[in-house]
């Protein structure tokens, strides 16, 4: 499992997940597996990131009354407006037996414009304990109004995706760990916030910080694991702020300020 996925599951375990998540990436299987793990984590009776407790088992077998899969079927390419109406009605109810109602929309680019619009108000003012997980190859395939209400997470192959930026981030972090030169952090924030799509670049930064906290990357300095984890959490917050059109550079600088 990628570090981005681990970070996301841990965020879910702590109950701090954004209420609408877009999981995007090239592998539909990987997206589905992560969505399933998230649904389990949000409802696991053992409080873990998904184990074989009865709730997780029922989610796996698609028998859990609070976890809904909205999919296209047969010849249809689109999710029907009736399916979305059911989601909207169901989303107003409290969970039956779990802690969270989870709606997995697969694929989210199967939403028609009408379907997307019907879903907007629910996404905007979600009931407590409700999480939407939208799966797609690319957030660009979704309406901007859906994207702006959701946190987009790239799943799979993130490091290979932008090796140049990853190198820049790693060497900047090493320089900061060695010399405590905050200019190195500001340079990282500038580089990350100028990348398109910025959400993917911030997710990459979060992945690298997680790798450093887990000891998979040696920054060669004396940064505490707590501070590195705080900065990694900061990148999750930054993605949330980005979804409401906050200044990307500022929010990344704030995340990295946790290291100082
Ligand atoms: Zn469980």
> Mean pLDDT of residues grouped by 10 in the chain (260 residues)?
83 92 89 96 91 93 96 85 94 93 95 91 87 91 90 72 87 92 94 90 90 83 86 88 86 94
Task: Provide the pLDDT for residue 161.
Answer: 62
Cα–Cα separations (whole angstroms), residue 52 to 45, 47, 67, 99, 101: 9, 11, 16, 17, 19
Q: Is the peptide bond before 174 cis (omega within 30 degrees of 0)?
A: no
CA of 9 to the centre of ligand 1 (A): 13
CA of 42 to the centre of ligand 1 (A): 9
Task: Provide the pLDDT for residue 7.
Answer: 87
CA of 54 to the centre of ligand 1 (A): 7
Q: Model pTM? A: 0.62
In CATH terms, is domain 3-156 a member of 3.40.190.10? no
Domain boundaries, the chain: 3-156, 159-257
Task: Provide the pLDDT for residue 83.
Answer: 94
Task: Provide the pLDDT for residue 242.
Answer: 84
């Amino acid at each position: 499992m990628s570090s981005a996925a681990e970070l996301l599951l841990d965020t879910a375990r702590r109950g701090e997940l954004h209420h609408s998540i877009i999981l995007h990436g090239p592998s539909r299987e990987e997206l589905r597996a992560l969505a399933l793990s998230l649904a389990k984590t949000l409802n696991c009776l053992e409080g873990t990131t998904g184990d074989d407790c009865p709730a997780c088992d029922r989610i796996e077998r698609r028998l859990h009354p609070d976890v809904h899969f909205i999919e296209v079927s047969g010849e249809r390419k689109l999710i029907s407006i009736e399916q979305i109406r059911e989601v909207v009605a169901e989303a107003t109810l409290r969970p039956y037996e779990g802690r969270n109602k989870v709606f997995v929309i697969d694929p989210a680019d199967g939403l028609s414009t009408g379907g997307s619009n019907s879903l907007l108000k629910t996404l905007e003012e979600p009931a407590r304990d409700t999480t939407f997980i939208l799966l797609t190859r690319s957030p660009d395939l979704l309406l901007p109004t859906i994207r702006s209400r959701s946190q987009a997470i790239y799943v799979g192959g993130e490091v290979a995706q932008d090796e140049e930026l990853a190198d820049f981030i790693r060497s900047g972090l090493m320089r900061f760990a060695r010399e405590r030169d905050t200019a190195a952090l500001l340079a990282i924030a500038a580089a990350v916030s100028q990348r398109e799509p910025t959400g993917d670049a911030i997710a990459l930064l979060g992945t690298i910080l997680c790798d450093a906290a887990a000891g998979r990357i040696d920054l060669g300095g004396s940064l505490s694991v707590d501070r590195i984890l705080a900065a990694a959490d900061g990148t999750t917050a930054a993605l949330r702020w980005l979804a409401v059109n906050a200044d990307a550079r500022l929010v990344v600088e704030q995340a990295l300020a946790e290291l100082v």
